[in-house]
Structure 1
């Protein structure tokens, strides 16, 4: 069956009915993104893998009682974020989540945005310099919006803030990036993004 041609509601309906192929499709489609997102909080790959494994086992066990109305990705990311933070707090009792979170280098993810949009930095170190000046919540909001392509409403629910606050986090983060980075070539997509926020 070509699951890519089905809506997420249809795919989830198959999972709820016990279709293992549909469940495997969901795992193969989203597990890598969950793994990447997990690295925004900790470098402990075993912990990340355990949380992902436990999440999917839990979902399969309770599939008949779980209702996914629109986005499977949002549901998975929200559950994963919540469970990972719990595990991190237990594993790193002597450190705050902010301290653990701050150890991750975000460069790879943001370079991915730039590369996909054919944006070339004058200096390879500028992305590190720019990201070092952006608060973690701004970086996470931008990551969720432009790499994982979640909606503002979904991000607000995940990060437990109001939608206007999500706009504000992203606006301030992008403005800071714009002020620090010098682009030698900007794609139409990214130009439109900057125009939207800085016109």
Structure 2
């Protein structure tokens, strides 16, 4: 069966009917992205892997009673983020979520898309400089929107920000990047690549 052609609703139906291959497909197509997302919060790879394993085990165990209102991918990201932050707070009670963000960088994920689109090293350095001007919340929102292709509604729920505030957060971030990039005589290709059309 070609699982990639199925909707999230259809895949969830198969998982609820105990289709292990559908479940394996969900794991293989999401676990790497979730792991990379986890690295934005902590460098503890073992903790990230433990949380990923736990959320997938819980998903399988609760498959008959769990109701997924949005996509399976969004459910996994939001469950993972909530559980990872909970465990980080237990381990580091004095730190706030913003501190987790600031202890690691988002640039590697943005660099990946530049490499995939054959952007030069010079351009790559400029995008890093542009990203330095963004807050960690702006980086996360733009990452989820443009790297993980999530909707504003999903990101709003994931990050605990109201949709209008999220629009404003992303818009200001993109404007900041555009301002920096255009003032640096930045290439139109990269501006279009990141959707910086504001």
What is the TM-score of this pair, normalised by structure 1?
0.89
Residue matched to 1:190: 193
CA drift of 1:123 comes to 5.6
Q: Does 1:105 align with 2:105?
A: yes
The answer to whether residue 10 in structure 2 is matched with residue 7 in structure 1 is no
How much does 1:124 deviate?
A: 4.6
Task: Structure 1 unaligned segments of length 5 or more: list them.
Answer: none
Aligned-partner Cα distance in 2 for 1:116–1:166: 27
Q: What CA RMSD, in Å, does the superposition of the two structures yield over aligned residues? A: 2.0
Unaligned stretches of 5+ residues in structure 2 = none
Are the counterparts in 1 of residues 111 and 124 from structure 2 also a CA contact under 8 Å? no
Partner of 2:83: 83
- On the 8 A contact 2:153/2:163 being kept in 1, the answer is yes
Q: TM-score, normalised by structure 2?
A: 0.90
| Superposition map of 1:149-188 within 5 A | 149-181=149-181, 182=184, 183-186=186-189
8 Å Cα contact 1:121/1:184 also seen in 2: no
Paired residues of 1:107 and 1:128 also in contact (CA < 8 A): yes
Shift of 1:121: 6.1
Structure 2 distance, partners of 1:47, 1:62, is: 22
